[in-house]
Structures are given as C-alpha cells and as structure tokens.
Homo-oligomer: A and B are copies of this chain.
C-alpha cells in the first residue's frame, strides 16, 4: 500500500476520534473579546500538541492578553510555519442559532458550531494531519513551527511585539495561513497576503444634551461639523483626498497586474447578489476587478447622531460620530493613516473632531512566486485535481504583517474548509464535514510537496 493510501486509511479509521477531538475544541467558548475560556483553550491545545509529540510552550502576553501557543515538531532542510488562532468571535445573537454554538453538531453533511470555520477546524485538522503522517509515513520531512494566536478576533493586538521579541526563533521558508477556501463556482482559492486595516471612530461633542432645534442659529451642531469634516476626506469621484495619503500607495508591479487581471470575476452575479445597478463610477468589469485589489479604501461603516426613530423630532444633537475603516495597501500603515488624518483635519480647522483608533493591522504583500506557492499548487492538484485561483492578496485584512513582512517569509492562505455559506462571525457558522477531512489531506500533501520543491 503506497504512503498516501495508508494515510487515507488511517484518517478514515480515525474519523470518529478526530471529530470527537474537534467537539472538545468547539466546546470551549474561547471568546477573546470577553476573555472567556482562553486559558482553558490554550491548555487544551497545549495538551494536544504534547500528545502529537511536539515541543510546545505557552507565551504569556502583557496586560492579560491571551497566550501564544508555540509548538515545533520534525526536522528537515525546509521549515514550514503554520499560523492559526484558537480564539473565536462572540456567539451572539444566540437566538439566531439553530444549534448550540458550543456543541459541535452534525447535520445534513455539515458541522455546526462557533469556530468550526474560523478557525478551530483548520487548526485541529492540521495537527491531525501531522498525527496521521507520523503514524503512517514516519518522520516529517521538514520542520513545522506552529504559531497559534489567541487574539486574532480582537485585532492581534500583541502579535507584532511578540514576533519582534521572538524573531530569532521564528525563521521559516513559508507560512501556511488560515483562510482560503472555494468560491461559489467551486474553484479552490488561495491568497498570498492581505490588505491592512485602520478602523477609527470620529466623534464630535456638541452641547451637553440634545437641545431644541430652535437654538440652531447660535449653537454649533456636531452633526454638521462631522459631515463637513468627513466631506473633505473624499471627493465625489470617491477618491481619497486626505493630504499626503496617496503618495504612500506603492504602484503594482506588472506581474501583480497580470495576476489580478487573470482572476475570475463574475461581475453580473456579484451585482445581482447585492442589488447593484452598476459599479461605483460606472466602472467596467475589468477596471472594477483591478481596483478591488489595487486601491486603499476609506469606508464610512456607520453614522450616528441625534434622533433616528420614525417621524420627526426637532433636536440639535449632543454628539455625532462615524465609524471609518481604511483598507490599506503598502506602504500605508495604521499609524501613518492616523497621523495623516489628524493633520488633514487640523489643517482645515476640524480640531474638534476626535479620532479614536479601534483597530489596526498593517498590509501584508508577499512575493507572488515562492516555493510555498508552487507546493500549494501541486497539493491542490493532488487534493482537488484543480489548479487553484491564486489571489495576490485578500481584499480583506488579517494579522499577516508581523510574521510575513517583518520576518520576510512568503505566506499563503490555503486549505479550503471555508465555503461560500460558512457564516464565520455569524450565527450557524458551519463547514462541510467532507471539507474537514479533505483539508486535512491537503495539509499532508503540502508538507510533502514543500519538502521537495
């Protein structure tokens, strides 16, 4: 029986055990935002790595942060770093779940529970892939360094400092990230990086309480101040007009442009799904696709002020605020954007607009070509008989910067437990049971190919 067949037999024979372990992981409500179940989950994970035979250690973080669980196993000329996280989003609104969020539930070929998709399924199936490898194929052909974070869902607030402190320990030839999946057409997708993010609340304080609007001739209205301030950040062509902002946008390379333009893009389907008559500025499909990956954004995610009920209430509001997210491309950073934003507003007299940064992650752009990418394509062909769609980077954001950019290690998101209706961060989060085990096999195949390329 060849190696890969023995591997499959082992996985099949251990399906129930693997799912039982998965259920134990899901049962721990490791909600970082609420500091629930964090220590318990870090300990359970540490125990699981020990059982695998890995050298494992918890790294405490300052200010009561969730510890990083770091594990090493195997040896070889190449080193593969694996990044996952053991924390999850809060489960609310609980009423919208059809199953208990912290009980792994099988139903109609799916596995339901908070974290099944984001990110405990990927996390555990990769450990189990190594177990199956060791049981059926002997020693690993490379070294694996696992960095398992417990604060991904609250913005990885301590990761950069921790990576800086532990840089000597963290050398690797490639990083297998979380995420990656398949799209509605069934195409396996991968990505080598992501945009960064800077999320701010802008707030203007007016009178101490909402006032009768008859006072408007003599009382400064914070909602007008906010509107006027915001209106200077973009023009009506939706171009960001913050002083100095665009000078920090690194141009795309010809290879990056070529890879973006080669991506599949079901423009009509997209517009149909979201009820859009046209793209912004009437962009054609080709221009829209490129712009989606190329440009940084400034998005008003929310506006709040005064009376918001039905009908009329004649008030001059006490407070006005906006939630604003910036998706960042190199070489923009959250610090830089905050500084530019403050200077821009101050220069126009908007010193009364308070800026609070709510989260920030630097952009991570990884080399388009790398041995890890080549290995991932081979493993995808093995696993799904498909050449994957390789996004140069996600239009979304994640904490890739410290490990990938600071340490200069190519990164790839691949593994495909995420599916189009996975509902990460939402009620009824789910993955397909079939995908859990396919992803496990993909990991083994990636180990094999990465050790050889």
Listed in ascending order, the chain A residues whose CB lies under 8 Å from chain B are: 33, 195, 197, 199, 207-209, 211-221, 223-224, 226-228, 230-231, 234, 236, 238, 274-276, 279-280, 283, 288, 291-292, 294-295, 297-308, 311-317, 320, 322-323, 325, 327, 348-349, 358-359, 394-397
Contact = CB atoms under 8 A, between A and B. Distances in A.
Contacts of A303: 223, 226-227, 303-306, 308, 320
Contacts of A349: 236
A364 to B, nearest CB: 14
Given A303-B305, A314-B325, A320-B303, A395 B214 contact: yes
Nearest to A358: B312
Contacts of A358: 311-312
A304 B220 CA distance: 20
Contacts of A306: 300-303, 323
A5 to B, nearest CB: 41
B208 A274 contact: yes
Most-contacted residue by chain B among A226, A323, A396, A397 (CB, 10 A): A323
A280 B217 contact: yes
Contacts of A236: 228, 348-349
Given A217-B291, A218-B288, A228-B231, A207 B274 contact: yes
Across chains A and B, which 6 residue pairs bring their CB atoms closest together, nearest first?
A208-B275, A231-B231, A223-B300, A302-B306, A216-B297, A214-B395
A314 B304 CA distance: 15
A274 B205 CA distance: 12
Contact of A227 (B33, B230, B276): B230
Given A211-B274, A218-B280, A302-B317, 11 more contacts: A195-B214, A213-B297, A213-B327, A214-B395, A214-B397, A216-B299, A221-B238, A221-B300, A230-B231, A301-B315, A303-B305
B295 A317 contact: no
A215 B293 CA distance: 9
B274 A396 contact: no
Contact of A312 (B199, B217, B280, B288): B199
A59 B275 CA distance: 48
Contacts of A316: 299, 301
A305 B314 contact: no
A289 B325 CA distance: 41
Contact of A214 (B302, B312, B394): B394
B313 A308 contact: no
Contacts of A217: 280, 288, 291-292, 294-295, 297, 395
Contacts of A292: 214-215, 217-218
A305 B322 CA distance: 9
A220 B300 contact: no
Nearest to A234: B224
A250 B91 CA distance: 59
A349 B208 CA distance: 36
Contact of A313 (B228, B302, B395): B302
Contacts of A394: 214
B197 A314 contact: yes
Nearest to A298: B216
Contact of A299 (B213, B226, B230, B283): B213
22 contacts: A207-B274, A207-B275, A209-B274, A213-B301, A214-B327, A214-B397, A216-B297, A217-B288, A217-B291, A217-B292, A218-B288, A219-B274, A220-B276, A221-B238, A227-B227, A227-B231, A299-B314, A301-B314, A302-B307, A303-B306, A308-B323, A312-B323
